[in-house]
């Protein structure tokens, strides 16, 4: 759990970066150039003769490449979010008290150890010891 706590702030930043990357990739997916393609269809009436129809489709190679990157980023985002949720549920599961207040302040409220020390009346060194001992 100590490793997860140490990585928590980095993971929060990474999650924001992944969300921004996904947003850009979805925008790029929408702006992929279209090309003309032909498809076959059967006629509307009997004897259902095969017909060729021209359609506009997005560039297949570019679309596939972007979709692969999107799926990779989505997979990373899911893993990072799971790690963040684990830390948050661990902190929420702690009994009410000094340790929980300190962890909530440092990790969830994004306060520094000095700010938490001023808030609790301890020194920054003592706050650091409490975090290290958990």
Q: Which residues of the chain have pLDDT under 70?
A: none
> Could you tell me the pTM of the whole model?
0.72
CA quadruple 106, 112, 116, 119: dihedral sign:
negative
What pLDDT shows up at residue 39? Answer: 81
What pLDDT shows up at residue 89? Answer: 93
How far CA 80 is from CA of 15, 26, 130, in Å, comes to 7, 20, 26
What pLDDT shows up at residue 134? Answer: 76
How far apart are the C-alpha atoms of 110 and 105, rounded to whole Å? 6
The DSSP 8-state label assigned to residue 128 in this structure reads H
For residues 120 and 112, the answer to whether their CB atoms sit within 8 Å is no
For residues 14 and 80, the answer to whether their CB atoms sit within 8 Å is yes
Extents of the domains making up the chain? 94-134
């Amino acid at each position: 759990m100590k490793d997860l706590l140490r990585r928590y702030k980095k993971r929060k930043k990474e999650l924001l970066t992944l969300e921004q990357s996904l947003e850009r990739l979805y925008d790029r997916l929408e702006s992929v150039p279209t090309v003309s393609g032909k498809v076959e269809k059967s006629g509307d009436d009997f004897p259902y003769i095969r017909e060729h129809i021209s359609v506009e489709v997005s560039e297949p190679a570019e679309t596939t490449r972007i979709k692969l990157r999107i799926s990779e980023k989505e997979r990373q985002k899911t893993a990072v979010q799971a790690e963040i949720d684990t830390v948050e549920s661990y902190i929420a599961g702690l009994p009410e008290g000094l340790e929980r207040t300190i962890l909530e302040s440092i990790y969830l409220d994004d306060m520094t150890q000095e700010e938490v020390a001023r808030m609790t009346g301890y020194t920054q060194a003592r706050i650091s010891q409490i975090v290290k001992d958990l």
